[in-house]
Amino acid sequence: MCGIYAQFGSFKLNDALECLKRLEYRGYDSFGISYNNNEIRKRVGRIKLFSEEENYDAIRAICHTRWATNGEVSLANAHPQMSSDGKVVLVHNGVLENEGIIKQTYFKNHEFKSSTDSEVIAELLAYFLRSSSPLKAILDVMDVIKGAYAILFMIKDDNNIYFMKNKSSLIIGYNQNSYFMASDIYALPHECSYYKHLTDKSYGRIGADVFLSDESRFLNFDFNYEFQTPNDVMIKEIYEEELLALKLKNNNNLFSNKTLELIRNASELIIIGSGSSFYAGEYISYMCEDILKKRARAFLPTELRNVDLYDNPIYLVISQSGETADLINAIDNVNKDRCILFTNRKNSSLGNMIKNVVDVLAGAELAVASTKSFNQTIIAAYMLFQNAMDIKEDEIGEYVEGLRKIKNNFEMKIPKLLAEMDKVFYIGQGYDYIISKEGALKLKEIAYIPTEGYSISELKHGSLALIDSRTTVIGLSSIKNYMLATLNEVKSRHGNIFYLESPYKGKYLGGLVLARYVQLISYYTAKEKGLDPDHPRNLAKSVTVI
C-alpha cells in the first residue's frame, strides 16, 4: 500500500515530491527520495517539500511514501533502502513472501539495518550485480523473489533508473524531455504525453538508453484531473454526493451495449469487493434480486469459493481505486469477459484487466474513508439494472432531496455523545441493515470506536449482554419495522439510543439516503475526539498488498 514515483530528465527535487504527494493516499507513515548518484533524504511522517536552499537540481530520482506492512514506522524502515555496499538504492511496493528463505540462503551471517523486506531485495540486487549486468541481475532477482511487487532502483555511478514489476501497479510515461514511473496514473505530471500500464513480470530501465521488456503500446496521456489535497476533504466529498448523483442520472453513455447484454442474459450474479465496496456489493445484491429477479451474492475476495455452484455467473467487481490487491488476485482465474467493473478509476490495473467498465463518476476520492464512491457505486448499479429491464422511472431525484434534508437537519448531539462511548451498535433491516454495517465500519476507521452493525433481531442474540450506560445503539429506518421495540429494550438496560429515519422511503434508494447519516456521524465524532478524519491511523486509501 505504498506509493512509488521516479523521474528522469531535468527537474527540481520538489517537482518529484509534488508528484509523490499525489500518492499519499497509499500511505503517509514516512517518505523519502534518492536522487542523482544515490544521495538519500527521508523523513518519518507526511510528505513535506524541501526549502528553497535544499531544493536541488536533479536528473534522476526515485521516491516513496510508506504504509508500514513489514517493520514499524521508523527512519530506519523508511524508503529508499540502500544495500550495505552503497551500490543499490531501492523503493518497493509489495510484500516479499519468501524473505526468510532468501536470508537463510544468501545472507545467513549478514546483519540487516532495517526490519523491511525491501532491504533484503536491495541486498539481493547488490549480490547479483557483483557478477552480472543490471538487466541480468534483475532477471536473477525475479527468479528468486516471490510475491507481488513494484520495484524501482538506482545503481551508484550508473545514470539509469531500473524497474521490475509483478502484480503490483506500475505505470510508465514519457514526453519529449523526460521519463516518469509511478504506482498510479494520478502521479504522472500533466506534461506527460504518453503512458502505459506495465504487464506482470516486466522489467527494464529508463534513462539515456531506454529498455522495456514490455512491448505493449503506449497510449496518449489525455487523463485530465485536478488533484488537490485540501484540509477536511472528507466532509467536502460527502457534500459532493448530490451533484454526483445527478451527474450519473443525466449521463446517457454510462453503459456499453455489451454491459447491458451481460446483465440481461445473466442467470445469476456474483459481486466481489472489499471493505466499503463489499457492503456496496451486498446492497447491490439485494437490488439485483428485487429488480432483476435473479439470484445474487456478494463475496469478499478472500472468500470467493465454490463458484462452480453457480450457473455461469456474471461477476460484478467493485473497486474504488481499481488497484485492490486481494480483488486482483481473486479474479485471476475468472473469465474477464464475464466481468463488469464498477470503479471511479478507469485508468487503473483493474480497468486495464476488465473490458466492461462502469465509471461511477465519483472523481478523485482522497479521504481514506469511502463516502461518495460508496453511494455512486450503488446508484450506478441501480441505473444499470433499471436500464437492463427498460424501467423508465427512477428514484434518484428523491434520493438527492433526502440527502439535502439530512444535511440541513443533522443533529450534532449524536457525535457529541458518541465521542464519550466505549462501544456503538447500528441496527437496521433489509437495505438499512447493509447501511448499518457500513456505518459501523466508518465509525471504527475514523473515530476508533468499537462498532458493529446488526439486523434488528440479531442484537438480542448475544450482543445485548454488552449494553450498558457507555453504549449507544443507533436505529436506521427507511421501512416499516419493529425498530422501536428493540430500541426500548436497549433503553431499559441503561443504553443510549437514537432513531434515525430516512426522509425518503423509496424502495431501492431510501436506505442509501441513510448513508449520509452514518458518514456525517463518523466525521463529526472524529472531530469531537480531536482526530483527523482524512488520515486515520494504520490505514491507507488503497490496499495494494494482500
What are the φ/ψ torsions at residue 498 (nearest 5 degrees)?
-135, 145
Residue ranges of E strands in 216-344: 219-220, 268-272, 295-299, 314-318, 339-343
Instruction: Give the SS3 label for residue 137.
Output: helix
Alpha-carbon dihedral of residues 283, 287, 290, 292, nearest 10 degrees?
A: -140
Strand bridging mode 219-220 / 202-206: unpaired
C-alpha cell belonging to residue 95: 510484500
Residue ranges of E strands in 327-480: 339-343, 357-359, 423-428, 451-455, 471-477
With contact defined as beta carbons under 8 Å apart, do 295 and 515 qualify?
no
C-alpha gyration radius of the chain: 25
Q: What angle do CA 377, 232, 349 make, to 5 degrees?
A: 40
In angstroms, rounded to a whole number, what is the distance separating the alpha carbons of residues 479 and 509?
11
DSSP symbols for 310-362: SSSPEEEEE-SSS--HHHHHHTTTS-GGGEEEEES-SSSHHHHH-S-EEE---
Question: Of 87, 165, 437, 541, which one is the catalytic site residue?
Answer: 541
> Which residues share a beta bridge with 165?
150, 202
With contact defined as beta carbons under 8 Å apart, do 266 and 388 qualify?
no
Is 336 designated active site? no
Known catalytic residues are 541
